[in-house]
Every structure is written in C-alpha cells, then in structure tokens.
Amino acid sequence: MKIRIHVSLKPGVLDPQGRAVHHALDGLGFAGVEDVRIGRLIELTVADGTSDADLEAMCEKLLANTVIENYRIEKVGQ
C-alpha cells in the first residue's frame, strides 16, 4: 500500500524559505503570487492492512514535529 504523508508548517509559523521563494517568483515576473509555504512530501510503502492508528503514530512520533508542523495522510492505493 502506498501512502503519502504531506507535512506542512502550521499557520502562523514563519517560513523564511517560502518567503525567499516567493521573492524569487516575484523576481521572475509572476505577478499575483500571494503566499508561498514550503512543506515536505514523504512517500511510504507499507504492508496492506497497516492501521490508521499506526500511520498516525508514525507521523506523531517521527515524521512530523507537531510543535511546528501539521500532517495529512493520503492513501494512494495499491
């Protein structure tokens, strides 16, 4: 089973990297970009039947730092 874990910064947490990229997009002439936030995508291949509770525990214990980050678990299929 393929799983995608989307890790993103919580609202209100400053993202200097996103700000720099925003600036660079402005510099390239792309008008109308209002905000840029940079996160991380983690792809897992796990045994079929891996429980949601286990996936959540993986995120809580290691894959995301919930002080600063949110995560979303996406099941991509077989």
Enumerate binding residues for other proteins (CB under 8 A).
13-14, 16-17, 20, 61-63, 65, 67-68
Cβ-based nearer residue to other proteins, 11 or 32: 11
For other proteins, give the closer residue by CB, 45 or 78: 45
Task: Supply the minimum distance, in Å, between the C-beta of residue 65 and other proteins.
Answer: 6
| Shortest Å distance, C-beta 50 to other proteins | 19
With a CB cutoff of 8 Å and minimum separation 6, the contacts of 2 are 43, 44, 45, 75, 76, 77, 78
> Alpha-carbon distance 6 to 56, whole Å?
12
